[in-house]
Amino acid sequence: MTDMVVAVREQAGYREIVDALVWYGVSAVPVIDADDRVVGVVSETDVVPKMVFDGDDPRARLFGRGRRRTANHDASGDTAAELMSSPAVTIGPDASIVEAARLMEAESIKRLPVVGDEGRLAGIVSRRDLLRGCLMPDAVTAGDEPRRRPDVADRSSRYIFEAGL
């Protein structure tokens, strides 16, 4: 798990979101409300159509996804709240790497916000975090009897950025 998370507020503008994605080299950011609760996720897949379809019919999509989107999601959105995929699929900090991997696979998502008490953002698990977990001496794979199940909070790194303050 990365505990220093690049996140944006609901009111962050399109340009702020793109700046965060590019500057920090991430493909998506959790969207948090005023109480730091995760309300959605904005990914490159959510912002590219705005660039392609800005001013065009937003229903003509280049990129499809299996995730449900809110009814107000379209290429004409200007804020994180309008562009995000919601509700966010999240996991608790005590979940195992295997649980995180299964949830990510089942939901066809590439990253999983980790939420603590009251749904507040505590970190994020990416596919890379899952791969790092496989490198750990006690890593768990399907069918293994682990001595210790690594949880999603076993790894941390990098930075934080909040746009839309």
Sign of CA dihedral 49, 53, 57, 61: negative
Distance in angstroms (rounded) separating the CA atoms of residues 89 and 104: 9
pLDDT digits (tens, 9 = 90+) for 95-148: 988 899 999 999 999 999 999 988 899 999 998 888 876 665 554 555 554 444
CA atoms within 13 Å, Cβ hemisphere of 17 = 30
Domains and CATH numbers, the chain: 4-163 (3.10.580.10)
Banded model confidence at residue 157, pLDDT cuts 50, 70, 90: very low
Q: What is the pTM of this model?
A: 0.70
User: Which candidate, 156, 110, 116, 105, places its Cα nearest to that of 132?
Assistant: 156
Instruction: Look up residue 83 and give its two tokens.
Output: 């562009």
